[in-house]
Amino acid sequence: MKTAHPPVRAGAMSVLLFAFLAGPLPARAGADELWEAVLALGHPDEPSRAAARQRLLEAGPAGFQVTLLATRMLGEAALPNLARELHCPMLSFGGGPTWSYPSSPMASAHAAAKVLAELMLQDPELAAGLLGSPVVFERKLGLLGLVSAPERLVPALEGLQAEQDTSVVEFARGVVPCASLQARGDEQLILALTRASLRTRAKREEMLPPTRCEEAGFSMGPVLDGLIAGKVSANGWQRSSNELSILIHMPDGVRVLLSPRCAFELYDAARRQERYLPGLIMPFVEELTLDPRDRQEALQRAERDVVFFPADERNQQAARLVNAGGRCAHLVTYNAEDPFAQEEYLEAAARQGQAQAWQVIDQAAFCRGDFGDQDRIELLGFVGTTEAAETAAALARRCPRARGAATVALIRLGDRRAVDHLASALEDPGFARQSLDRALREHLTPQLTRKLEEIAGREGDGSGEAQQVLERLRAAGRIR
- The string of pLDDT tens digits covering residues 248-279 is 988 777 788 899 999 999 999 999 999 999 99
Inter-CA distances, 148 with 39, 151, 182, 355, Å: 28, 9, 6, 53
CA distance 357 to 333: 9
Q: Kind and range of the H or E element at 212? A: strand 211-212
pLDDT of amino acid 11? 45
Q: Are strands 236-240 and 243-249 parallel, antiparallel or unpaired?
A: antiparallel
Q: Which of 180-194, 312-326, 359-373 has the highest mean pLDDT?
A: 312-326
Alpha helix stretches (DSSP H) within 4-123: 10-22, 31-40, 46-58, 61-72, 78-85, 105-122
Query: Phi and psi for 303 in degrees, rounded to 5?
Result: -65, -35
CA distance 68 to 141: 10
CA distance 281 to 219: 20
Nearest 5°: CA angle at 191, between 177 and 175? 20
Residues 153, 172: contact at Cβ < 8 Å?
Answer: no
CA distance 269 to 148: 47
Is pLDDT above 50 for 241?
yes
Average pLDDT, the chain: 85
CA distance 370 to 347: 21
pLDDT of amino acid 122? 92
Residue 181 is which amino acid?
A: L
Is pLDDT above 90 for 361?
no
pLDDT of amino acid 5? 36
CA distance 431 to 449: 22
At 362-403, the pLDDT tens digits run 887 788 655 556 778 888 899 889 999 999 999 999 888 889
Is pLDDT above 80 for 29?
no
Angular region, 103: left φ>0, alpha ψ -120 to 50, beta rest: left
pLDDT of amino acid 405? 92
CA distance 290 to 295: 7
Give Cβ neighbours of residue 28 (< 8 Å, ≥ 6 apart): 34, 62, 65
pLDDT band (50, 70, 90) for residue 104 = low
The whole-model pTM stands at: 0.56
Question: Stretch 236-246: mean pLDDT, rounded?
Answer: 81
Question: Stretch 88-99: mean pLDDT, rounded?
Answer: 66
SS3 238: strand
Query: Phi and psi for 240 in degrees, rounded to 5?
Result: -140, 115
Is pLDDT above 60 for 351?
yes
CA distance 344 to 334: 9
Question: Stretch 96-119: mean pLDDT, rounded?
Answer: 75
CA distance 161 to 6: 55
Residue 168 CB neighbour total at 10 angstroms: 19
13 or 149: whose pLDDT is higher? 149
Residue 479 is which amino acid?
A: I
CA distance 48 to 62: 20
pLDDT band (50, 70, 90) for residue 289 = confident
Q: Which long-range contacts (CB under 8 A, 24 or more apart) does 335-339 make?
A: 336/360, 339/363, 339/364
CA distance 20 to 419: 79
SS3 319: helix
CA 174 to chain centre: 13
Residue 350 CB neighbour total at 10 angstroms: 19
pLDDT of amino acid 317? 96
272 or 341: whose pLDDT is higher? 272
In the sheet where 255-258 sits, what is the strand order? 211-212, 255-258, 243-249, 236-240
pLDDT band (50, 70, 90) for residue 219 = confident
Residues 287, 244: contact at Cβ < 8 Å?
Answer: yes
pLDDT of amino acid 8? 32
pLDDT of amino acid 295? 92
Range with the lowest mean pLDDT among 7-16, 39-48, 64-73, 92-101? 7-16
Q: Which of 72-81, 321-330, 392-401 has the highest mean pLDDT?
A: 321-330
CA distance 367 to 192: 41
pLDDT of amino acid 233? 84
Is pLDDT above 80 for 340?
no
pLDDT of amino acid 57? 92
3-state SS string for 97-147: CCCCCCCCHHHHHHHHHHHHHHHHHHCHHHHHCCCCCCCHHHHHHHHHHCC
pLDDT of amino acid 109? 87
